[in-house]
Amino acid sequence: MAEPTRTGRIAGEARAAWIERLDSPIRGAAQGPLAGLRFAAKDNIDVAGVPTTAGCPAFAYRPETHATVVGRLLAAGAELLGKTNLDQFACGLNGTRSPYGAVPNAFDPAYISGGSSSGSAYAVATGQVDFALGTDTAGSGRVPAGLNNIVGLKPSRGLVSAHGVVPAAQSVDCVSIFAPTVALATRVLTQAMGPDPRDPYSRRLRLANAPFPRDFRFGVPDRLDFFGDLLAAAAFAAAVERLRALGGTPVTIAYAPLAQAAALLYESALVADRHAAIRGFFDAHPEEVIEPVRSIIGAGRRYSATDYAQAQTHLRALGQAAAAMWDSIDVLLVPTAPTHYTIAQMQADPVALNRNLGAYTNFVNLLDYAALSVPSSLRRDGLPFGITLVGPCGSDLQLAELGQRYHHATGLAQGATGQPLPAPQDIPGLQPAATVRVAVVGAHLSGMPLNGQLTERGATLLAQAETAPDYKLFALPGTTPPKPGLLRVAPGTGHRIALEVWEMPLQHYGSFVALIPPPLGIATLQLADGSQVQGFACEALATADAADISHHGSWRAYMASLRPA
C-alpha cells in the first residue's frame, strides 16, 4: 500500500515524529481517570481502523480492533491523536532506521532522538501529547526518554498486555510509557496494567507497595564505559552524588554478568526471536526491509533449535550470577545511554554505535527486571542526560517513588517545553513505609556516641521534646559509653527531662531494640504535651546506687557539667 499521509510541521515540530496524525482524534470515555489527556501510540501498536506499519509500508495492515493497552487507555478517558514513527520493526535504539525519516532530538535536530520509540518520545518532549506509548525489548522505552529529557517507564514484563502489538522479540517485549513526569507515567500505568489471556506472556504480578528504605543502597557498575564522552561521564558522577543526597549509599556491583546477558540479545541464537516475530512477511519480502534491520533479523535464521536452547540456558546461568547483587542493593543505577550521537554519525556507523547506546539497557528484559528512566541533567552542550533505576520484577511502584524524588531534585523543566515540573504527587498503589517513633534521652542523642545506631537504620529526628514532670534521670555507674537511666516516679516528685523523638522504619526497629543492654529497655513514655511515645527507660533497682542528675534537666546538660571549666 502507499505510504500513509503524515501531517506537516505542527508549530515548527518535526514531520518525521508522526507516521499518521489523525484528522479526527479518537476520543476516549467521557469520564475517567485519564479524561482530558491526549496520547500517541507507537506504530507497532494497533489502533482500530488505522494502518499499523511497524515502520515498513509493505507490511502495513488495518486492524479491526485496538491493542488491549490502547483500549484500556481510551476506556479511562484519554484521547488518541495518532501513530508515531519508530525504528523499523522496533529494531534499533537510535531513531534513524525508518523509511519515514530520522526523528531528530527535541533539543538539537542534528542529534538522534534515540529509538526505537523515537516519535513517541519526541511528541512528549515537545508537548504535542501528554503521554505516549512505546515498546521496549532492549531499551526502546528508555533510551529515547534519556536523550529527550522525559520519563520512560518500562514495566515489569507481562504487567501490561502486548496483545495487538507487532512483536520485536515476543518473549521479552514490554509496552512502555513516555511522560513528562513520573507521576503521570505511573498514573497511566495503573490504567494500562492487568492480565490479559490474549497475550501469551501476560501474567498476574503482585507489585511491591512499600517504598525503598530511606537509607536505600544503590548499585553502581564496577566498570563504566562512556565511549569517550566526558560530558556524559561527568553527568553520571553528578547523578551518583544526587542519589547520595537523597539518602542512598552507593555499592559497587559486578557488571560482567549483566553485560554478558546483554550481549546474548544480538550475539546468540536469541536473535531468532526477532526473526520469529515477523517470519512470514520477512521470508517472503526481505527486500522490503531496510538495512541494517534486514541483516539483524535475517541472522536469526541461521541458528538451530539446539542453539536456541543452549542460549536460553546460558542466559539463565547469567541471571543466577547477576541475582547476587540484590543481596547488597535495593536498586541499580545506570546511565540510560552512555553517550549522544548525531544523526550523521549514526547513519555512517549504524550497527556499532547502536550497540553502544544499549550498553546499559539490553540486559533488563532478558533478566526480568523493571526499569525507569528519569531526566538527570542538561550537559554543558545543552543535550539531556538521563539515568535509569533498575529493580527486581514487581518493583515498579518503588522505582516510581524514588524516581519522582530524584527527578524533582534536578530542577529540570518538562521535556523541551520549558515548563517547570508540577508538584510531586502520591504514587498510586504505594503505601507509606511503616515507621515507629522512639524517644532517646542519653547516648543516642544527636552528636552522642551511639547516635549512629539510629541513623544507620534510616531513623530521622522528628522533634526536641520533654517528658511529663514525673521522671527522674540517673547517671548509671560502670556503663561504656556513659549512659543515663530514666525512671518514672510518683506524681509531684519528678522533673521534666529533655529528650529527642526519632522516627525509624519499622523493619529496622527490632534490630535496634536488640542492641539495648540491661538494665535499660523500652517503655511507653508520657510527654509534657500529653502524648505518648516509645522510649528508653530503666529498671528501678539499677538506680539505687546511681547519681540522681534530674536537676540538670537533660543528659546533655549533665555531660557538659563534667567538662573542666
Of 98, 116, 117, 550, catalytic: 116
Dist CA 354 CA 341 (whole Å) = 10
Dist CA 225 CA 376 (whole Å) = 18
How far, in Å, are 244, 354, 372, 513 from residue 224 at the CA level? Answer: 19, 17, 19, 41
Known active-site residue 295: no
Backbone angles phi, psi at 106, to 5 degrees: -70, -15
Known active-site residue 377: no
Q: Are 363 and 346 in contact (CB under 8 A)?
A: no
Q: Quick check: helix, strand or coil at residue 531?
A: coil
> Which residues, in sequence order, are bridge partners of residue 320?
none
Identity of residue 35: A
Of 113, 140, 202, 395, catalytic: 140
Dist CA 266 CA 497 (whole Å) = 67
The reply to whether omega before 109 is within 30° of 0 (cis) is no
Neighbours of 400 (CB within 10 A): 28
| Angle made by CA atoms 552, 558, 563, in degrees to the nearest 5 | 135
Dist CA 300 CA 305 (whole Å) = 11
How far, in Å, are 233, 238, 405 from residue 59 at the CA level? Answer: 41, 45, 43
Backbone angles phi, psi at 47, to 5 degrees: -130, 125
| Angle made by CA atoms 517, 521, 525, in degrees to the nearest 5 | 150
Nearest to 216 by CA among 365, 371, 405: 405
Q: Are 25 and 80 in contact (CB under 8 A)?
A: yes
> 460-466 and 498-505: which strand pairing?
antiparallel
Q: Are 159 and 429 in contact (CB under 8 A)?
A: no
> Computed over its alpha carbons, how large is the radius of gyration of the chain?
29
Dist CA 55 CA 293 (whole Å) = 11
Q: Are 383 and 111 in contact (CB under 8 A)?
A: yes
Known active-site residue 140: yes
Nearest to 218 by CA among 257, 258, 248, 241: 248
Dist CA 500 CA 376 (whole Å) = 36
Identity of residue 194: G
Helices (H) and strands (E) in the chain, counts: 17, 21
> Which residues, in sequence order, are bridge partners of residue 174?
136
Dist CA 122 CA 18 (whole Å) = 9
Compute CA 246 distance to the chain's CA centroid, rounded to the nearest angstrom.
14
Question: Quick one: 551 exposed, middle or buried, by C-beta within 10 A (0-12, 13-18, 19+)?
Answer: exposed
Catalytic residue list: 42, 116, 140
